[in-house]
Structure 1
């Protein structure tokens, strides 16, 4: 599966640079872009080639607002390019002094939980923030003997951490073949025994199947599949949602409540949000 990369650079404007980037990323996320990497000059945004249409950028208001001027170029990104990109940009994550998420070439910080991954896709800024938020939620939960779903598993980090926290049976699902293959590799790398990895989407889910559903995906997919997550929970089940900004909170919460989910907790990191719901 190939990706399209849009490389934005700030030229000038009245808006503060970070504010302009935050607004641009939020609007691109709503348009379907999945991964972002910020740099001193602007931001790189990536979307699956099958979802790309040049007209998507016509609806990005900040590009036409006059408050800030961006230049940008669009490139097709072949799979082979990702390995070099993530190795240049990937930094280890440490969460609350208890959890490390690192690549094999990073030094082991000797924390309580150590997750070693070798991702095949870009590990963009948003992924760092939302992964951090989801791990924070999971740290506060008792997962012993729970049935867990990691929906949109990516590299498999959250599924792996769920097993480390005592979950007895974990399904990890991603529609992207690279992610599916990479999750299999990382599950083996971390000596996990309770994780099953599947390639597909929410149509694979069965009713009343999970004690906990983790969905760290972009806003549009969450809104579209919320009803499936809700029906796939066991009684007194929990859903953790992330992959979106504070600006999206009202809409996410509205659709969650429409599907019988009750808000319990919000965590925030650099304007990214992680939410906890129960049924």
Structure 2
């Protein structure tokens, strides 16, 4: 299976905006570069006309150009190994690749080899999710990770004491990657399947019927559509932690959660990206 690499030559000020726009077009992985931004998508999902329309939308605001390259899955690891540096979250979590040395100063050491999956902690939304998780009690809790990507959020929940963590993603390579990362981090309580929220509680043996914490770092439209379902899956006094959207979308997300019976507990924002924590 081949992948498309979209190389955008843009001002750094527009990197986050284009990341959000491209995510809506189906791009799943992003790398900041000296020239701007690289974005990755399965070739069968690539729509160059949609990219052209997106570029035209911002042409009057900033200088922007793009190149399209086809690359095979095996090239992705070399790309990350060249650019991937460890990140630190709230002086407690360090996210690194397997080729980096461990650092004993951090309570939680997470190894993530991303392949084609999104979620290394480098993006603001993932970093905020990790930081918000540090404020929750996961001991003996059941956790659902929606759109798990690399599995990074599920892995931190497991390292913080969760009894069972169920993660899922729609992409087969993301599921494979999350399973590999869970094994790398010695987290047997993390299980990963390919599917959607509609597949939860579909009869799988040993699967919890309700969850103490639901984690969802996805885009605005998915959250607005699925927050009522997340709420139904939560135990009373359970927590829903979400990110993946801009500050100007937060009121809509918050209202949908309130209408579903949740209460806002905490809000975080970094560079216009937002994370919201709700309690049932």
TM-score by length of structure 2 reads 0.86
Per mean C-alpha deviation after superposition, the further-off stretch among 181-190 and 136-145 is 181-190
Query: Are 1:82 and 2:83 counterparts?
Result: no
Corresponding pairs, count: 273
Cα pair 1:180 1:199 within 8 Å, conserved: yes
**1:212, CA displacement in angstroms?**
0.4
Per mean C-alpha deviation after superposition, the further-off stretch among 254-263 and 191-200 is 254-263
* In 2: Cα distance, 1:244 partner to 1:228 partner: 19
Secondary structure of the residue aligned to 1:162 is: helix
Unaligned runs of 5+ in 1: 11-16
Structure 1 pair 141–245 and aligned structure 2 pair: CA distance change class (3 A): same
Unaligned runs of 5+ in 2: 202-207
Give the match for residue 45 of structure 1.
39
Give the match for residue 260 of structure 1.
261
Cα pair 1:153 1:174 within 8 Å, conserved: yes
Give the match for residue 223 of structure 1.
224
Give the match for residue 249 of structure 1.
250
Structure 1 pair 58–258 and aligned structure 2 pair: CA distance change class (3 A): farther
Query: Are 1:149 and 2:125 counterparts?
Result: no
Cα pair 1:32 1:220 within 8 Å, conserved: no
Give the match for residue 14 of structure 1.
none
* In 2: Cα distance, 1:5 partner to 1:126 partner: 21
- 1:116 pairs, out of 82, 94, 111, with 111
Give the match for residue 7 of structure 2.
7
Cα pair 1:9 1:72 within 8 Å, conserved: yes
- 2:171 pairs, out of 176, 180, 200, with 176
Q: RMSD in angstroms over aligned alpha carbons?
A: 2.5
Cα pair 2:146 2:167 within 8 Å, conserved: yes
Deviation sequence 1:149-171 (CA, Å, 0-9, x none): 11112222211111111111111
Give the match for residue 195 of structure 1.
190
Give the match for residue 102 of structure 1.
96
* In 1: Cα distance, 2:253 partner to 2:239 partner: 16
Secondary structure of the residue aligned to 1:63 is: helix
**1:2, CA displacement in angstroms?**
4.5
Per mean C-alpha deviation after superposition, the further-off stretch among 218-227 and 152-161 is 218-227
Query: Are 1:233 and 2:227 counterparts?
Result: no
Cα pair 2:210 2:234 within 8 Å, conserved: yes
Give the number of the structure with larger relative contact order, counting CA–CA contacts within 8 Å between residues 6 or more apart: 1
Give the match for residue 56 of structure 1.
50
